[in-house]
Structure 1
Amino acid sequence: MVFEFNTSIGHNGFMGLIAIPDDVAMQAVQDRVKRVVANLSHKEKEITLYAAISKRHGSYSMMFSKANQKKLEVQQGDTIQVRMQEDTSKYQAPMTEELEAVLLSDYEAYEIFENLLPGKQRNIIFMIYNAKGSQKKVDLALNAMENLKIGNHNPMKFEKLL
């Protein structure tokens, strides 16, 4: 199901938030949607956001980082257009060609990756997805897989091995 709505950008004291209207949130909860792919637009700009729907203080929202706010050229209080739908992809994150190629070429790393918790898988995927340039993505993917093989399964503590 696709949800379309206009909403404002808020803040929780730590992170920017995209408020989800109650009727949309209730339908998402009823359909058991937890992670979404949302296309956000403001004026002439548009970005894609991969996010979780979370409930805080009785209302539903998605986290919206300062980096994404900068890309969309918005700030707290601005109104944006949202088109979101459930993320039904395998990892619920945007798998890059580079990471996929590394996983296909290294079966040991693939097995370890598949046995990680979904959140750790997403951390690795987003770390590589956010890199600039294809070669940098390949280098990060190779390094991540080497870290997994030596037993370092925490993406936040990966060492540069290559």
Structure 2
Amino acid sequence: MNSSITNKTAEFTGFLHEAAGPMHHYVIVVPEDVCLVFREGKGAVRILCSINGAEEFPCALNPRQGGYVIISSKQLIKKHKLAPHVAFNVRVRSDVHDGLQLPEELLEVLTQDDHFSFEFEKLLPGRKRGLIYYIRSAKTVDTRIKRSLEIAEKVKTGSLHGSKQND
């Protein structure tokens, strides 16, 4: 873990912008002075973000056309009732876990299953983030447990969609 990213925070007024390109989606353009607080090299930087003081969610500062943006999912737009070109407050801070903070349910399965733990550690960070997001997106504890157990089985058997053994 990089100790230089532990306490970085920033706030700014955000706006939802339609992104140009083949896929229809929206982004929050991040002001350059905010980006300078977090930038340490090339590529995306993992951060935690809060919109209008709501619960934080993991995301990234993604490079786009000489600047940086936060990609806005349909769920994020709906949850926070965002509309294009309408101002809202954005608070960002460094994600010292790099988007890899484990949900309790997944952590419990990893603790109880050495084989799964070993195989999970071999996954690339982006794959882990995707699985963590999938588990966190469940609304109930029971569903998060069910998803954690399903992922454990698929990782152990190499049947996880996109795994090298499955390709």
Please give the TM-score of this superposition, normalised by the length of structure 2: 0.83
Partner of 2:83: 75
Query: Which amino acid in 2 is paired with 1:35?
Result: R
Partner of 2:151: 144
Q: Which runs of 5+ in 1 are unaligned?
A: 157-162
State the distance in 2 between where 1:82 and 1:31 align: 23
Q: After superposition, what is the alpha-carbon deviation per residue over 1:70-124, rounded to whole angstroms, capped at 9, x for unaligned?
A: 11011222211111111001x5244211111111111100111111000000111
Q: Which runs of 5+ in 2 are unaligned?
A: 1-7
Partner of 1:160: none
Residues 100, 125 of structure 2: 8 Å contact kept: no
Residues 23, 12 of structure 1: alpha-carbon distance in 2 compared, 3 angstrom cutoff: same
Aligned residues: 152
Residues 2, 85 of structure 1: 8 Å contact kept: yes
Partner of 2:74: 66
CA RMSD of aligned residues (A): 2.0
Matched ranges for 1:2-151 at <5 A: 2-13=9-20, 14-30=24-40, 34-41=45-52, 46-89=54-97, 92-151=99-158
How far apart are 1:152 and its partner, in Å?
2.4
Residues 120, 154 of structure 1: 8 Å contact kept: no
Q: How much identity, in percent, do the aligned residues show?
A: 26
Query: Which amino acid in 1 is paired with 2:45?
Result: K
- The SS at the match of 1:67 is helix
More strand by share: 1
How far apart are 1:48 and its partner, in Å?
2.1
Residues 124, 155 of structure 1: 8 Å contact kept: no
How far apart are 1:15 and its partner, in Å?
2.0
Please give the TM-score of this superposition, normalised by the length of structure 1: 0.85
- The SS at the match of 1:46 is coil
State the distance in 1 between where 2:109 and 2:162 align: 16
- The SS at the match of 1:88 is coil
How far apart are 1:9 and its partner, in Å?
0.9
Q: Which moved more, 1:24-33 or 1:51-60?
A: 24-33
